Structure 1
Amino acid sequence: MLLKKIFFVAVVLGAVMPAGAQSAKHVVLISIDGLRPEFYLDPSWPTPHLKQLKQLGAYARQVTGVFPTVTYPSHTAIITGQPPGKHGIYYNAPFEAPKGRWYWEDSAIKVPTLWKAVKQAGLTSGAVMWPVTVGAPVDYNFPVRRADGDEKTDQLSVTRPYVTPAGLLDKMAAATGAPVTAEDFKYSNIDHTIGRMAAFIFKQYQPSLLAVHFVQADHAQHEHGRDAREVKEAVAAIDSMIGLVMTTIKETGQESGTTVIVTGDHGFVDATQSVAPNALLAENGLISGNDWKAKFYTAGGSAFLYTKTPGDTAVTQQVAQLLRRIPGSDKLFRIITKEELAAIGANPEVELALAMKKGVVANNAAKGPLVRNKPLGGAHGYYPDFNEIYTGFIASGYGIRQGAALEQLRMLDIAPLICRLLGIPSLVEGTGKLPDVFQTDK
């Protein structure tokens, strides 16, 4: 594993630097939710700014994510360098959480984050719509604390109390001459708003680390599938906002000392089948109303088995036997053992998991048919071992070797890369001991 990290950093970086060498002044970390490598590899996608960054810097043909490949565990992996089993954000929402209660708070993260590392180094940070950042030690922060279906209010009203500093949005409105309204946070407008906020924060405060999360490409793929017209429109809008951020960096005179990294959290699969593993458990007496001995918690292309008594081997074996008896089960899912879950760094609290086959998703229903066949739009959450679910990576600017191309890298390598660029101690044990294999002409 150490050799892989050395290779990744050595190939990508022209200047992630020998001890004592100059560091990047700024890193702008951009996440496109649902980013697929073809967005910048395929000429048919309307992404001139992504392609410019790729041409001027380094890129990967695929990035291996964490399990499950969903937004909150993945974004937390990006800013910690650790998998869900260590950082503690196992899904988007905790198991058995009340409706609308997701992993919002930074306090849920069990390991050090880039935010804390940057602050400890005496540097500043900013974040726009980055998951799990409510209450995070981010100097300029518009976190994700979104309205849910059971909240009788709008996105802006829900989020405003958690923005830091408290007057950030008012300062942005005064500086840009455009008030921030609830309309700006509707899905048709939200990525434009995110881009404006990111540009304002960089121009006004020039933080050492600015993390930005664009969301509409994910929403469009869920609604319309991987390659619908609406997806290309969403991706084009995000690309234009990345262009705004790039222009702002240049206008502030910080281009030569800034590194821009674009990555994502997962790819997408067009789903046509839905499986309800809890219906199987209910049929066999393991779930009865609110009482249960075993229950699956699903995350798109995956499902995770909890037992009422943790570590209940007998119940776990019973569930495994029931799953194997499903006709054609090998075409629906693969059973992931507890040992395999530990090896990939997934949730340690569950007894086994289901990795759904490509195009199959799981749902939490305990009633109704076990399998439904119908077009379901786009999905993710799958085990990260096939092309469509991989995400992407581009890095350009200070410290990045132009023309470097990687076939594959890990999502977990991104945080150590940022630490090296900023010249701060690595969050991940071992990476600080990498030999001095880097060159710099800075």
Structure 2
Amino acid sequence: MLVKRILFVAFALGGMLQVRAQSAKHVVLISIDGLRPEFYLDPAWPAPHLRQLKQQGVYARQVVGVFPTVTYPSHTSIVTGQPPGKHGIYYNTPFEAPKGRWYWEDSSIKTPTLWKAVKHAGLTSGAVMWPVTVGAPIDYNFPVRRADGDEKTDQLSVTRPYITPAGMLDQMAAAGNGTVTADDFKYRDVDRTIGRMGAFIFKQYQPALLAIHFIQADHAQHEHGRDAPEVKTAVAVIDSMIGRVIAAVEESGQTSNTTIIVTGDHGFVDATQSVAPNVLLEKNGLISGDDWKAKFYTTGGSAFLYTKKAGDAATTQQVEQLLRQLPHGDQWFRIVTKKELEAIGANPEVELALAMKKGFVASNAIKGPLIRTKPLGGAHGYYPDFDEIYTGFIAAGNGIKKGSTLARLRMLDIAPVICRLLGIPPIGNGTVALPDIFSNR
């Protein structure tokens, strides 16, 4: 009996020590919207902190994303280890949603998230501007919530009711980090604001998991193309804010206990032409005013076919024939079959998709020309099977082997890696069988 008690006490103490050890570990997950690997591989880009992290840890030359390669599905895959077809965030905005209705709420996600896994392990989490986190079980959270889908409106007043804890920004000001105003969310300042909040959350609360989403590199590439001077300016600002977060870790005395991961959601493609597949459907009687038998929903470099009657094989076949009969269609896009969509884990509600070729984007327009010229701008949303659309990955710090390079990593592998680093049960269908990443601990 005494032996059993001793074993029980030893087991209990061991469990307590394990929890304490885990709670002393931290992962800072940084997403750069529109991150391309050359930001840290090419010294011409103004990113000294990214290159320093790359030298101190592990980096990937390519990270293969999900389909479509857009922000909200990708960020949800990062924190679930699941593709859109499983986690349920198919695009940035739901099909036929009213104006301003995006996938804001955590309740839209159908599979376990890192936030939930961390909470179930008795640890804490924080997030700044991470998509699909309104109402998420995040202890220190400044989520994304906008009015009317317009990123130029007052982000702060719209988001304030969803901040947890409610007084977090007041605590930030009281701690000498300055007040946060509506002007701080204008594009010229937004990433500085995000970096400032991220650094404060780590230093003040030291959560086990802190996720930070920087957005200006995406905006600059959309507006000006992949390699415009404005993109380099955006990257320089983001890199400086990553430096600020690293400094907060150091000032907290947690450098040896912290892993910093930098990743992204998609790359970018310069596009000068737009294809409107719904024009083809309207001309052939499949769309008539508000009524339709088949309709494409487009998101950058892809278009997804819905049929009014789910699984309408005859209508799907008709659409596919119309597409294949286009004289130059194969120069604009390739058809992604239902079987391919299932294999890559895309939206199960659609019958087929169009993967646009480089230089082309898809449009939701129903009237006008099928193909039209557009001003030069960057785009994403493409099928993740070519260099320009891949994103990147760097990991450095606690638990990470120094000096390793991965030729390729899947976005779905990131959540299981974070779970292993935090010592919590894994989520997702990725793999932690990545011996070149982890150090012996």
* Partner of residue 99, structure 1: 99
CA, structure 1 residues 137+149, in 2 after alignment: closer, same or farther (shift >3 Å)? closer
CA deviations on 1:183-202 (whole Å, 9 max, x unpaired) are: 00111100000000000000
CA, structure 1 residues 84+147, in 2 after alignment: closer, same or farther (shift >3 Å)? same
Is 2:389 aligned against 1:402?
A: no
* Partner of residue 222, structure 2: 222
Local SS of the residue matching 1:377? strand
- C-alpha separation in 1, matches of 2:20 and 2:214: 33
Q: Which amino acid in structure 2 is aligned with residue 392 of structure 1? A: G
* Partner of residue 15, structure 1: none
Q: Which amino acid in structure 1 is aligned with residue 73 of structure 2? A: P
* Partner of residue 190, structure 2: 190
Matches within 5 A, 1:17-56: 25-56=25-56
Is 2:324 aligned against 1:324?
A: yes
The answer to whether the 8 A contact 2:145-2:159 is kept is yes
* Partner of residue 5, structure 1: none
CA, structure 1 residues 409+149, in 2 after alignment: closer, same or farther (shift >3 Å)? closer
* Partner of residue 210, structure 1: 210
Q: Which amino acid in structure 2 is aligned with residue 416 of structure 1? A: P
Matches within 5 A, 1:407-418: 407-418=407-418
- Stretch of structure 1 that moved more, 20-29 or 58-67: 20-29
CA deviations on 1:104-155 (whole Å, 9 max, x unpaired) are: 0000000000000000000000000000000000000000002336799511
Local SS of the residue matching 1:374? strand
- C-alpha separation in 2, matches of 1:149 and 1:143: 14
Residue 440 of structure 1 and its aligned partner are, at CA, apart by 4.9
- C-alpha separation in 2, matches of 1:436 and 1:376: 42
Matches within 5 A, 1:374-385: 374-385=374-385
The answer to whether the 8 A contact 2:58-2:437 is kept is no
Local SS of the residue matching 2:375? coil
CA deviations on 1:81-119 (whole Å, 9 max, x unpaired) are: 000000000000000000111000000000000000000
Matches within 5 A, 1:6-405: 25-148=25-148, 154-405=154-405
- C-alpha separation in 2, matches of 1:306 and 1:104: 23
- C-alpha separation in 2, matches of 1:332 and 1:324: 11
- C-alpha separation in 2, matches of 1:281 and 1:226: 32
| Higher radius of gyration, 1 or 2 | 2
- C-alpha separation in 2, matches of 1:141 and 1:276: 39
CA, structure 1 residues 236+439, in 2 after alignment: closer, same or farther (shift >3 Å)? closer
Q: Which amino acid in structure 1 is aligned with residue 113 of structure 2? A: T
> What residue ranges of structure 1 are gaps of 5+ in the alignment?
1-18
Q: Which amino acid in structure 2 is aligned with residue 276 of structure 1? A: A
- C-alpha separation in 2, matches of 1:190 and 1:66: 26
CA deviations on 1:294-342 (whole Å, 9 max, x unpaired) are: 0000010000000000000000000000011111111000000101000
- C-alpha separation in 2, matches of 1:259 and 1:207: 12
- Stretch of structure 1 that moved more, 142-151 or 419-428: 142-151
- C-alpha separation in 1, matches of 2:223 and 2:370: 23
- C-alpha separation in 2, matches of 1:97 and 1:389: 27
CA, structure 1 residues 427+197, in 2 after alignment: closer, same or farther (shift >3 Å)? same
* Partner of residue 13, structure 1: none
> What residue ranges of structure 2 are gaps of 5+ in the alignment?
1-17
- C-alpha separation in 2, matches of 1:69 and 1:346: 11
Q: Which amino acid in structure 1 is aligned with residue 313 of structure 2? A: T
Local SS of the residue matching 2:376? coil
Local SS of the residue matching 1:171? helix
The answer to whether the 8 A contact 2:413-2:431 is kept is no
Local SS of the residue matching 1:69? coil
CA, structure 1 residues 129+289, in 2 after alignment: closer, same or farther (shift >3 Å)? same
- C-alpha separation in 1, matches of 2:190 and 2:438: 40
Q: Which amino acid in structure 1 is aligned with residue 112 of structure 2? A: P
Q: Structure 2-normalised TM-score? A: 0.93
Give the structure, 1 or 2, with the largest relative contact order (CA under 8 Å, sep 6 or more).
Answer: 1
- C-alpha separation in 1, matches of 2:152 and 2:193: 22
Percent identity between matched residues is 78
- C-alpha separation in 2, matches of 1:162 and 1:247: 28
- C-alpha separation in 1, matches of 2:347 and 2:309: 16
The answer to whether the 8 A contact 2:400-2:438 is kept is no
CA, structure 1 residues 435+177, in 2 after alignment: closer, same or farther (shift >3 Å)? closer
Residue 281 of structure 1 and its aligned partner are, at CA, apart by 0.3
CA, structure 1 residues 219+435, in 2 after alignment: closer, same or farther (shift >3 Å)? closer
The answer to whether the 8 A contact 2:400-2:437 is kept is no
- C-alpha separation in 1, matches of 2:193 and 2:150: 24
Q: Which amino acid in structure 1 is aligned with residue 323 of structure 2? A: L
Local SS of the residue matching 2:45? coil
Residue 383 of structure 1 and its aligned partner are, at CA, apart by 0.1
RMSD: 2.0
The answer to whether the 8 A contact 2:257-2:398 is kept is yes
CA, structure 1 residues 435+102, in 2 after alignment: closer, same or farther (shift >3 Å)? closer
- Stretch of structure 1 that moved more, 300-309 or 142-151: 142-151
CA deviations on 1:339-392 (whole Å, 9 max, x unpaired) are: 100000000000000000011100100000000123330000000000000000
